[in-house]
Amino acid sequence: MPESTKQRSVTGREERLLSKVRPHSLVPKDAKWQQLKSGQTRQKIFDAAIACLVEASYSGLSIPAICTRSGVSRGALHHHFAGKLQLVAALTEYLFYKRMHRFITDYLGIIDNDRNFVARAAELHWESLHEPDHTAYLEIAIAARTDPGIAEFFYPMAQRFDQIWLEEMVHHFPQWEHHFQKLQLVSDFVIAAHMGLLLNSRVLGAEDRVNSVRDMIVASVLSVYAGSAGTASPPDTSDSA
């Protein structure tokens, strides 16, 4: 599939970062016609698979359902993917790539332009959890818990993504360079807290309860940040959600 259009220009370092997680299913924009056509077919398959995961969970993900939704014949699908497990492995790789692409286009884009960076970054992460891509990722993650075939590729991919993510966080937040463990703690905390809140938001019901937890997450991160920065003032949070 052709690579998506960048929301802003990326630096050479950022392009090298993307290359670390770029899946084989992506083809360059200047690829030959046949490659582009194959890429478009894979994109249709992935889009259909994501929709199936969002609407029917992993249990509702099947080759017939994907073919019906995408308009791609079973033979054409198997030309690209030998079976469901191979398709899910490629889809997982693609979803991790899209998460990294979002990190570059969204998070790095506000580092120098938003005084309220911590709150804004937390807001962006929370918003990303409600997108179809993340819902599909979550369904695969849940399936990996009990399916050895999925676990075999999912956890190594997730661990590699986590390692690359932390390395880039250190690069783009030099104030944390000598406090790597705290940076790792903050990243793990926000991801885990937001995930727990996402799964329990319908139980909590009232929007003010959800927002109160979100505010506490931001406050906790700022507290760690202030401790790591010594006497330096933490980022402004006057507009936090």
Q: What is the mean pLDDT of residues 25-40?
A: 78
Q: What is the pLDDT of residue 169?
A: 76
CB neighbour burial string for 118-135, b if at least 16 within 10 angstroms, e if fewer = bbbbbbebbebbeeebbb
Structure token pair of residue 7: 């929301």
Tally the residues of the chain: 241
In CATH, 12-228 is 3.90.70.10: no
**Whether the predicted pLDDT of 2 surpasses 50:** no
CB 221 within 8 A of CB 122: yes
DSSP 176: G
Range 32-61 average pLDDT: 93
What residue ranges do the domains of the chain occupy?
Answer: 12-228
Specify the pTM.
Answer: 0.82
Contact 15, 101 (CB under 8 A): no
Helix 148-172 vs helix 12-21: angle between axes, to the nearest 10 degrees? 170
Categorize the per-residue pLDDT at 181 as very low, low, confident or very high, splitting at 50, 70 and 90.
confident
Average per-residue pLDDT for the chain: 84
Tens digit of pLDDT for each residue in 101-157? Answer: 888 777 777 766 555 778 888 899 999 999 999 999 999 999 999 999 999 999 999
